[in-house]
Amino acid sequence: MIENELNVSIVIPLYNEEESLPELFSWIQKVLSEARLSYELILVDDGSTDKSWQVIQSLAAEHKEIKAIQFQRNYGKSAALQKGFEVVSGTVVLTMDADLQDSPEEIPALYAMITQEGFDVVSGWKKKRHDPLTKTIPTKLYNWAARRITGIHLHDFNCGIKAYRLAVVKSIELYGDMHRYIPALAKYAGFKNIGEKVVQHQARKFGYTKFGINRFLNGPLDLMTVAFLGKFGKKPMHFFGALGTLMFFIGALLALYLGIDKLFFHKSAQLLASRTAFLLALVAMIIGVQFFMTGFIAEIMGRNSSSRNNYLIQQKIAC
Protein backbone atom coordinates (compact mmCIF):
# COMPACT_ATOMS: atom_id res chain seq x y z
CA MET A 1 0.00 0.00 0.00
CA ILE A 2 1.34 3.45 -0.93
CA GLU A 3 0.78 5.92 1.85
CA ASN A 4 -0.50 9.39 1.15
CA GLU A 5 2.49 11.73 0.87
CA LEU A 6 0.44 14.73 1.97
CA ASN A 7 0.03 14.75 5.74
CA VAL A 8 -2.56 17.46 6.31
CA SER A 9 -5.28 19.22 4.36
CA ILE A 10 -6.68 22.32 6.06
CA VAL A 11 -10.04 23.64 4.88
CA ILE A 12 -10.82 27.22 5.91
CA PRO A 13 -14.19 28.73 4.93
CA LEU A 14 -14.24 32.50 5.20
CA TYR A 15 -16.42 35.53 4.71
CA ASN A 16 -14.97 39.07 4.87
CA GLU A 17 -11.73 38.21 6.65
CA GLU A 18 -9.21 40.23 4.63
CA GLU A 19 -7.35 41.45 7.73
CA SER A 20 -6.97 38.02 9.32
CA LEU A 21 -5.77 36.00 6.33
CA PRO A 22 -2.06 37.02 6.08
CA GLU A 23 -1.50 36.50 9.81
CA LEU A 24 -3.41 33.22 9.81
CA PHE A 25 -1.38 31.79 6.91
CA SER A 26 1.92 32.84 8.49
CA TRP A 27 0.89 31.21 11.74
CA ILE A 28 -0.14 27.94 10.02
CA GLN A 29 3.05 27.91 7.95
CA LYS A 30 5.23 28.38 11.04
CA VAL A 31 3.51 25.65 13.07
CA LEU A 32 3.51 23.01 10.32
CA SER A 33 7.09 23.75 9.29
CA GLU A 34 8.24 23.21 12.86
CA ALA A 35 6.18 20.01 13.07
CA ARG A 36 7.58 18.84 9.70
CA LEU A 37 4.17 18.12 8.29
CA SER A 38 3.45 18.47 4.59
CA TYR A 39 0.19 20.28 3.96
CA GLU A 40 -2.23 21.96 1.61
CA LEU A 41 -4.43 24.90 2.56
CA ILE A 42 -7.84 25.21 0.92
CA LEU A 43 -9.25 28.72 1.35
CA VAL A 44 -12.93 28.92 0.40
CA ASP A 45 -14.18 32.48 -0.05
CA ASP A 46 -17.90 32.31 0.67
CA GLY A 47 -18.90 35.34 -1.39
CA SER A 48 -16.92 37.97 0.54
CA THR A 49 -17.73 41.61 -0.19
CA ASP A 50 -14.40 42.99 1.05
CA LYS A 51 -10.91 42.34 -0.40
CA SER A 52 -10.61 38.79 0.93
CA TRP A 53 -10.42 37.27 -2.56
CA GLN A 54 -7.64 39.62 -3.63
CA VAL A 55 -5.68 38.69 -0.49
CA ILE A 56 -6.22 34.98 -1.19
CA GLN A 57 -5.05 35.36 -4.79
CA SER A 58 -1.95 37.19 -3.64
CA LEU A 59 -1.11 34.47 -1.10
CA ALA A 60 -1.80 31.68 -3.60
CA ALA A 61 0.51 33.28 -6.16
CA GLU A 62 3.38 33.16 -3.67
CA HIS A 63 2.69 29.80 -1.99
CA LYS A 64 1.97 26.60 -3.90
CA GLU A 65 0.42 25.02 -0.80
CA ILE A 66 -2.66 27.24 -1.14
CA LYS A 67 -5.71 26.27 -3.18
CA ALA A 68 -8.35 28.96 -3.66
CA ILE A 69 -12.08 28.54 -4.21
CA GLN A 70 -14.48 31.47 -4.64
CA PHE A 71 -18.28 31.49 -4.45
CA GLN A 72 -20.17 34.10 -6.44
CA ARG A 73 -22.34 34.82 -3.42
CA ASN A 74 -22.65 33.79 0.21
CA TYR A 75 -23.89 30.18 0.44
CA GLY A 76 -22.97 29.42 4.04
CA LYS A 77 -20.33 27.48 5.92
CA SER A 78 -21.65 24.02 5.06
CA ALA A 79 -21.43 24.67 1.31
CA ALA A 80 -17.91 26.06 1.70
CA LEU A 81 -16.75 23.04 3.71
CA GLN A 82 -18.35 20.63 1.24
CA LYS A 83 -16.48 22.17 -1.70
CA GLY A 84 -13.28 22.06 0.32
CA PHE A 85 -13.81 18.41 1.22
CA GLU A 86 -14.26 17.54 -2.44
CA VAL A 87 -10.69 18.60 -3.31
CA VAL A 88 -8.70 17.54 -0.22
CA SER A 89 -6.18 14.72 -0.43
CA GLY A 90 -4.26 14.76 2.86
CA THR A 91 -4.17 11.83 5.26
CA VAL A 92 -5.80 14.03 7.89
CA VAL A 93 -8.28 16.79 7.08
CA LEU A 94 -8.64 19.74 9.45
CA THR A 95 -11.16 22.55 9.50
CA MET A 96 -10.60 25.96 11.05
CA ASP A 97 -12.28 29.34 11.12
CA ALA A 98 -10.44 32.25 9.50
CA ASP A 99 -11.01 34.80 12.28
CA LEU A 100 -7.88 33.81 14.29
CA GLN A 101 -10.04 32.50 17.15
CA ASP A 102 -8.88 28.95 16.36
CA SER A 103 -5.21 28.40 17.12
CA PRO A 104 -3.04 26.59 14.51
CA GLU A 105 -0.88 25.45 17.44
CA GLU A 106 -3.46 22.68 17.95
CA ILE A 107 -2.84 21.11 14.52
CA PRO A 108 0.08 18.75 15.36
CA ALA A 109 -1.72 17.29 18.40
CA LEU A 110 -4.95 16.80 16.43
CA TYR A 111 -2.97 15.16 13.62
CA ALA A 112 -1.36 12.77 16.12
CA MET A 113 -4.74 11.82 17.61
CA ILE A 114 -5.94 10.72 14.18
CA THR A 115 -2.79 9.00 12.92
CA GLN A 116 -1.40 7.54 16.16
CA GLU A 117 -4.36 7.13 18.52
CA GLY A 118 -6.76 5.83 15.89
CA PHE A 119 -9.56 8.37 16.10
CA ASP A 120 -11.79 8.92 13.08
CA VAL A 121 -12.92 12.37 14.21
CA VAL A 122 -11.48 14.71 16.83
CA SER A 123 -13.55 17.74 17.78
CA GLY A 124 -12.13 20.78 19.52
CA TRP A 125 -13.57 21.87 22.85
CA LYS A 126 -13.34 25.56 23.69
CA LYS A 127 -13.46 24.96 27.43
CA LYS A 128 -12.60 28.57 28.16
CA ARG A 129 -14.46 30.83 25.75
CA HIS A 130 -13.95 34.52 24.98
CA ASP A 131 -17.57 35.13 24.02
CA PRO A 132 -20.43 37.11 25.61
CA LEU A 133 -23.09 35.36 27.73
CA THR A 134 -25.63 35.85 24.92
CA LYS A 135 -23.56 33.38 22.91
CA THR A 136 -22.22 31.00 25.57
CA ILE A 137 -25.52 30.20 27.37
CA PRO A 138 -27.45 29.20 24.20
CA THR A 139 -24.38 27.23 23.10
CA LYS A 140 -24.42 25.19 26.33
CA LEU A 141 -28.12 24.39 25.88
CA TYR A 142 -27.59 23.45 22.25
CA ASN A 143 -24.65 21.15 23.07
CA TRP A 144 -26.68 19.45 25.81
CA ALA A 145 -29.51 18.75 23.37
CA ALA A 146 -27.09 17.53 20.68
CA ARG A 147 -25.47 15.09 23.12
CA ARG A 148 -28.83 13.66 24.16
CA ILE A 149 -30.17 13.25 20.63
CA THR A 150 -27.05 11.99 18.82
CA GLY A 151 -25.54 9.95 21.66
CA ILE A 152 -22.15 11.57 21.00
CA HIS A 153 -20.62 12.94 24.18
CA LEU A 154 -18.92 16.10 22.92
CA HIS A 155 -18.87 19.34 24.86
CA ASP A 156 -18.63 21.65 21.84
CA PHE A 157 -20.28 20.42 18.62
CA ASN A 158 -19.94 23.83 16.97
CA CYS A 159 -16.21 24.30 17.53
CA GLY A 160 -14.64 25.36 14.25
CA ILE A 161 -11.41 23.39 14.65
CA LYS A 162 -11.82 19.67 14.02
CA ALA A 163 -9.75 16.87 12.54
CA TYR A 164 -10.95 13.98 10.37
CA ARG A 165 -9.58 10.90 8.73
CA LEU A 166 -9.69 11.47 4.96
CA ALA A 167 -12.26 8.69 4.48
CA VAL A 168 -14.69 10.51 6.79
CA VAL A 169 -15.00 13.69 4.73
CA LYS A 170 -15.24 11.65 1.53
CA SER A 171 -18.17 9.66 2.99
CA ILE A 172 -20.48 12.49 4.06
CA GLU A 173 -22.34 15.28 2.31
CA LEU A 174 -22.95 18.71 3.81
CA TYR A 175 -25.81 21.05 2.93
CA GLY A 176 -27.93 23.65 4.69
CA ASP A 177 -26.28 24.24 8.07
CA MET A 178 -25.16 20.65 8.64
CA HIS A 179 -21.57 21.67 9.42
CA ARG A 180 -22.55 21.80 13.10
CA TYR A 181 -23.25 18.07 13.07
CA ILE A 182 -20.35 16.57 11.14
CA PRO A 183 -19.50 14.26 14.10
CA ALA A 184 -23.08 12.94 13.98
CA LEU A 185 -22.94 12.50 10.20
CA ALA A 186 -19.65 10.64 10.60
CA LYS A 187 -21.18 8.38 13.26
CA TYR A 188 -24.14 7.52 11.03
CA ALA A 189 -21.69 6.80 8.19
CA GLY A 190 -19.99 4.18 10.37
CA PHE A 191 -17.12 6.18 11.88
CA LYS A 192 -17.75 5.76 15.59
CA ASN A 193 -14.32 6.47 17.08
CA ILE A 194 -14.98 10.12 17.88
CA GLY A 195 -12.77 12.00 20.31
CA GLU A 196 -12.39 15.45 21.78
CA LYS A 197 -9.51 17.77 22.64
CA VAL A 198 -9.50 20.93 24.73
CA VAL A 199 -8.29 23.77 22.48
CA GLN A 200 -7.37 27.38 22.92
CA HIS A 201 -9.98 29.96 22.08
CA GLN A 202 -8.60 33.33 21.05
CA ALA A 203 -10.47 36.61 21.37
CA ARG A 204 -11.53 37.99 18.00
CA LYS A 205 -8.80 40.30 16.69
CA PHE A 206 -10.39 41.74 13.55
CA GLY A 207 -13.92 42.37 12.32
CA TYR A 208 -17.07 40.99 13.89
CA THR A 209 -18.93 37.69 14.18
CA LYS A 210 -20.82 36.57 11.07
CA PHE A 211 -23.39 34.44 12.89
CA GLY A 212 -26.82 35.93 13.54
CA ILE A 213 -29.70 35.08 15.82
CA ASN A 214 -31.26 32.83 13.14
CA ARG A 215 -28.84 30.02 14.07
CA PHE A 216 -30.70 29.56 17.37
CA LEU A 217 -33.73 28.48 15.32
CA ASN A 218 -31.94 26.69 12.50
CA GLY A 219 -29.64 24.74 14.81
CA PRO A 220 -32.34 22.64 16.57
CA LEU A 221 -34.17 22.04 13.28
CA ASP A 222 -30.99 20.81 11.62
CA LEU A 223 -30.28 18.62 14.65
CA MET A 224 -33.63 16.89 14.27
CA THR A 225 -33.01 16.46 10.54
CA VAL A 226 -29.59 14.88 11.09
CA ALA A 227 -30.91 12.56 13.80
CA PHE A 228 -33.84 11.44 11.63
CA LEU A 229 -31.79 10.92 8.46
CA GLY A 230 -29.13 9.04 10.40
CA LYS A 231 -31.62 6.58 11.88
CA PHE A 232 -34.30 6.38 9.20
CA GLY A 233 -32.77 7.88 6.05
CA LYS A 234 -32.69 4.52 4.23
CA LYS A 235 -35.79 3.06 5.91
CA PRO A 236 -38.37 5.86 6.35
CA MET A 237 -41.25 3.36 6.51
CA HIS A 238 -39.88 2.09 9.82
CA PHE A 239 -40.69 5.50 11.31
CA PHE A 240 -43.75 6.74 9.44
CA GLY A 241 -45.23 3.29 8.97
CA ALA A 242 -44.90 2.38 12.65
CA LEU A 243 -46.32 5.74 13.76
CA GLY A 244 -49.16 5.53 11.24
CA THR A 245 -50.05 1.97 12.23
CA LEU A 246 -50.12 2.92 15.90
CA MET A 247 -52.35 5.96 15.28
CA PHE A 248 -54.74 3.97 13.06
CA PHE A 249 -54.89 1.11 15.59
CA ILE A 250 -55.73 3.50 18.44
CA GLY A 251 -58.45 5.16 16.35
CA ALA A 252 -59.89 1.84 15.21
CA LEU A 253 -60.01 0.49 18.76
CA LEU A 254 -61.77 3.61 19.99
CA ALA A 255 -64.29 3.46 17.11
CA LEU A 256 -64.91 -0.25 17.80
CA TYR A 257 -65.49 0.43 21.48
CA LEU A 258 -67.95 3.24 20.70
CA GLY A 259 -69.77 1.04 18.16
CA ILE A 260 -70.18 -1.83 20.62
CA ASP A 261 -71.27 0.55 23.35
CA LYS A 262 -73.89 2.06 21.05
CA LEU A 263 -75.23 -1.26 19.73
CA PHE A 264 -75.46 -3.22 22.97
CA PHE A 265 -75.44 -0.89 25.97
CA HIS A 266 -76.71 2.61 25.13
CA LYS A 267 -78.99 2.24 22.14
CA SER A 268 -81.06 5.27 23.08
CA ALA A 269 -78.05 7.55 23.63
CA GLN A 270 -77.06 10.39 21.29
CA LEU A 271 -76.07 9.64 17.72
CA LEU A 272 -72.62 8.10 17.37
CA ALA A 273 -71.52 10.73 14.83
CA SER A 274 -72.26 13.52 17.29
CA ARG A 275 -69.98 12.15 20.02
CA THR A 276 -66.60 13.85 20.46
CA ALA A 277 -64.84 10.53 21.06
CA PHE A 278 -66.02 9.22 17.68
CA LEU A 279 -64.61 12.29 15.92
CA LEU A 280 -61.31 11.75 17.73
CA ALA A 281 -61.28 8.15 16.54
CA LEU A 282 -61.81 9.24 12.93
CA VAL A 283 -59.07 11.87 13.17
CA ALA A 284 -56.64 9.30 14.63
CA MET A 285 -57.34 6.86 11.80
CA ILE A 286 -57.02 9.55 9.12
CA ILE A 287 -53.71 10.75 10.57
CA GLY A 288 -52.55 7.15 10.77
CA VAL A 289 -53.27 6.61 7.09
CA GLN A 290 -51.48 9.85 6.22
CA PHE A 291 -48.38 8.84 8.18
CA PHE A 292 -48.40 5.40 6.56
CA MET A 293 -48.72 6.88 3.06
CA THR A 294 -45.92 9.35 3.81
CA GLY A 295 -43.65 6.44 4.67
CA PHE A 296 -44.78 4.53 1.57
CA ILE A 297 -44.05 7.51 -0.72
CA ALA A 298 -40.68 8.08 0.99
CA GLU A 299 -39.78 4.42 0.36
CA ILE A 300 -40.65 4.78 -3.34
CA MET A 301 -38.51 7.92 -3.59
CA GLY A 302 -35.65 6.17 -1.80
CA ARG A 303 -35.92 3.17 -4.11
CA ASN A 304 -35.50 5.45 -7.12
CA SER A 305 -32.63 7.41 -5.58
CA SER A 306 -29.22 7.00 -7.22
CA SER A 307 -27.61 6.85 -3.75
CA ARG A 308 -29.91 4.18 -2.27
CA ASN A 309 -27.13 1.56 -2.23
CA ASN A 310 -24.26 3.86 -1.33
CA TYR A 311 -22.55 2.18 1.60
CA LEU A 312 -19.04 2.70 2.85
CA ILE A 313 -17.00 -0.45 2.28
CA GLN A 314 -13.62 -0.87 3.90
CA GLN A 315 -11.40 -3.53 2.42
CA LYS A 316 -8.47 -4.95 4.34
CA ILE A 317 -5.96 -6.74 2.18
CA ALA A 318 -3.28 -8.83 3.78
CA CYS A 319 0.14 -8.07 2.34
Reported as a single tens digit per residue, the pLDDT across 73-103 is 999 899 999 999 999 999 999 999 998 888 9
C-alpha–C-alpha distance, residues 182 and 226, integer Å: 9
Mean pLDDT score across all residues of the chain: 84
Question: Tens digits of per-residue pLDDT, 16-51?
Answer: 999 999 999 999 999 999 999 999 999 999 999 999
Confidence of residue 223 (pLDDT cuts 50, 70, 90): confident
Residues of the chain with pLDDT > 90, as a percent, come to: 47
- pLDDT tens-digit readout, 171-221: 988 887 788 889 988 998 889 899 999 998 776 666 666 555 566 666 677
The structure's pTM equals: 0.73
Distance separating alpha carbons of residues 311 and 186, to the nearest angstrom: 13
Give kind and range of the element (H or E) at residue 69.
strand 66-70
Give the CA angle between residues 264, 266, 272 to the nearest 5°.
100
Instruction: Please count the other Cβ atoms lying within 10 Å of the Cβ belonging to residue 315.
Output: 4
